[in-house]
Amino acid sequence: MNNRYIHRRRFLKASAFALGGYTVTSLDVLRSWANQSEPIDAIVIGSGFGGAVAALRLAQAGVQTLVLERGRRWTLTEEQNTFSSLRAPDSRSFWLNSSSVPLLGVFKPAAIDDCTGVLEVLGENGIGVLAGAGVGGGSLVYSAATYEPTRANFDRVFQGSISYDEMAEVYYPRVRSILKPSPIPEDILASDYYRLTRITLEQAANAGLPGKLLDMNLDWDVVRQEISGERVPSAIVGEFLYGNNSGCKNSLDRNYLLQAEQSGFVQILPLHVVTDIYEMSEHRYAVFCNQIDEGGNVLQKRTFTSKHVFLAAGSMGTSKLLVKAKAKGTLPKLNDAVGKFWGGNGDTLGLRVGLPPTNPSQGGPLSAVIEDHANPIAPTALQPYPKWNETRQDYLYSLGFSIGSAKGSFQFDPFTNSVRLTWPIYDPEIIQLRQATLKTYQKLNQANTNSTYQPKTARVLDEITLHPLGGAVLGKVCDFYGRVKGYKGLYVVDGAMIPGYTACANPSLTIAALAERCIERIIADDFV
């Protein structure tokens, strides 16, 4: 492929067409706006795991690519004060109309104005959903666990439609080669900060359950410097949700996206919220967005066009854009599977009490997992996490996953011009996942009961997920390489392509590896 590099400023000037003061109301308006903008080789919507993989691989193929990202760029400062702390959330913490997350001990102070903070909290029908917002997407706020599912669990979700061998031999290693995740080193594990990890592994062993250290996308040398006082305490005191100021987290802006931008082929536009996608003639698409300021005020409306548009706005963002496009007739040929087969990865937030002293407010973001894949109800996994404000030493919090039915679906509301997710939280199949997790807790409690300690399960909640997945699923809305059916040149490369569950594991590694698999085929077939 020829390198088609043009100077960045000229590239943007040529490709953006600014329009002020209009509201997107009808197809006619969209059509006339679209015809006034200049084309770009490829547009990527969103800069999380799927978007970052797509951007880098397109850049390496010499494809001039524009990344439209709704959130800000979060550059780490020398002063180590880029993000707000969990202890004192401020306008940097929450994305626009987000709310508090009492289940995580996170409360949005009433005094904070709506702003373009790094964490989005969505109150949907039946479930709350958390997601990242900013250049790097979920990697800015995530706990950095980089966890590969087992073959049996992967096949349970993908039913043989994606080869596990291919993922394990090619695509998981490809992602690892860029992120370079590693488990907690022994000296850090031995520190008092990570007592909760050691107790978790001991308790798993007592219960005869496999327990192991997780590969973490962290710079452990920086964590060591947090412990020695050379860097601000961040991971060690349970920070992750609003970002990590010490620089311990290898977020995507420091690897995939950095390399993509350094190539000269990728331009990232932060604070650009995509609102609509419209098919013009001959498989050319117009992407409409609002350029906003940090307070969320619209500065101008912009339109970009391309023959290749990659949706990577996360499961929630991508599903909402597609459901809206189908309902409003801007992408009328989308099939009826759009906005369906959504799940929250079987996420639970659990609390056990009555344990030996765990030091429960420290030692994050995550570090170990207990696997109960032989659970008779459904496979489960538990990962202990610190709750920064917990003072009860006998407490241990864990994030749980499972595998079940992807029964969530998105609906368009013409009166509000918006899309909402409905999750059937009282469906017996969904309740079963909570039962599966309770069973694992029961096993742990029984095996660790002695004359000194009698652990009990205080609660297991499933009303919130950190892992939205599905809505534009492979083999249904797209083919098995993310190509949207009926729309040549339109692709989905993020968590929306996965049917509700990443096989009893945290999703980022699987999303990135599937994106690697999709983009490799798309570049080979569609960019010749």
Ligand X SMILES: Cc1cc2nc3c(=O)[nH]c(=O)nc-3n(C[C@H](O)[C@H](O)[C@H](O)COP(=O)(O)OP(=O)(O)OC[C@H]3O[C@@H](n4cnc5c(N)ncnc54)[C@H](O)[C@@H]3O)c2cc1C
State the residues that interact with ligand X by CB under 6 A: 45-51, 68-71, 130-134, 137-138, 141-145, 241, 273-274, 312-315, 317, 366, 466-467, 494-495, 506-509, 511
Nearer of residues 175 and 207 to ligand X, judged by Cβ:
175
**Which residues, listed in sequence order, are joined to residue 459 by a DSSP beta bridge?**
351
Nearer of residues 242 and 265 to ligand X, judged by Cβ:
242
b vs e for 92-131, b when ≥16 Cβ sit within 10 Å of the residue's Cβ?
Answer: bbbbbebebbeebbbebeeebeebbbbbbbbebebbbbbb
Quote the least distance from Cβ 251 to ligand X, whole Å: 10
Nearer of residues 207 and 219 to ligand X, judged by Cβ:
219
Q: What are phi and psi of 519, to 5 degrees?
A: -70, -35
Rounded distance between C-alpha atoms, residue 387 and residue 370, angstroms: 19
Nearer of residues 132 and 363 to ligand X, judged by Cβ:
132
**Residues 58, 131, 416, CA angle at the centre, nearest 5°?**
100
Nearer of residues 443 and 467 to ligand X, judged by Cβ:
467
Quote the least distance from Cβ 504 to ligand X, whole Å: 12
Nearer of residues 207 and 509 to ligand X, judged by Cβ:
509
Nearer of residues 129 and 460 to ligand X, judged by Cβ:
129
Which tokens hold the place of 74?
A: 């979060």
Alpha-helical regions (H) of 23-171 = 27-34, 49-60, 151-158, 164-166
b vs e for 142-162, b when ≥16 Cβ sit within 10 Å of the residue's Cβ?
Answer: bbbbbbbbbeebbbbbbeeeb
Quote the least distance from Cβ 341 to ligand X, whole Å: 15
Distances (CA, A) of 183 to 49, 251, 366: 21, 17, 10
**Which residues, listed in sequence order, are joined to residue 303 by a DSSP beta bridge?**
17, 288
Quote the least distance from Cβ 48 to ligand X, whole Å: 2
Nearer of residues 116 and 358 to ligand X, judged by Cβ:
116
For residue 127, give the 3-state DSSP assignment: strand
Quote the least distance from Cβ 147 to ligand X, whole Å: 6
Rounded distance between C-alpha atoms, residue 367 and residue 369, angstroms: 7
Kind plus residue range of the DSSP H or E element containing 458: strand 456-461
Quote the least distance from Cβ 54 to ligand X, whole Å: 9
Nearer of residues 69 and 124 to ligand X, judged by Cβ:
69
* Position 242, amino acid: Y
Quote the least distance from Cβ 98 to ligand X, whole Å: 11
Nearer of residues 157 and 273 to ligand X, judged by Cβ:
273
Quote the least distance from Cβ 469 to ligand X, whole Å: 7
In sequence order, the 6+-apart residues with CB closer than 8 A to the CB of 334 are: 322, 325, 326, 477, 484, 485, 486, 487
Other CB atoms within a 10 A radius of the CB of residue 343 amount to: 30
Quote the least distance from Cβ 59 to ligand X, whole Å: 17
Contact 288/305 with Cβ under 8 angstroms?
A: no
Nearer of residues 140 and 436 to ligand X, judged by Cβ:
140
Quote the least distance from Cβ 274 to ligand X, whole Å: 4
In sequence order, the 6+-apart residues with CB closer than 8 A to the CB of 452 are: 356
Q: How many H-runs (helices) and E-runs (strands) does the chain carry?
A: 13, 23
Quote the least distance from Cβ 195 to ligand X, whole Å: 20
Start-to-end Cα distance in the chain: 7
Residue carrying structure tokens 């949207």: 484
Rounded distance between C-alpha atoms, residue 433 and residue 379, angstroms: 9
Quote the least distance from Cβ 260 to ligand X, whole Å: 14
Nearer of residues 318 and 445 to ligand X, judged by Cβ:
318
Rg (CA), the chain: 22
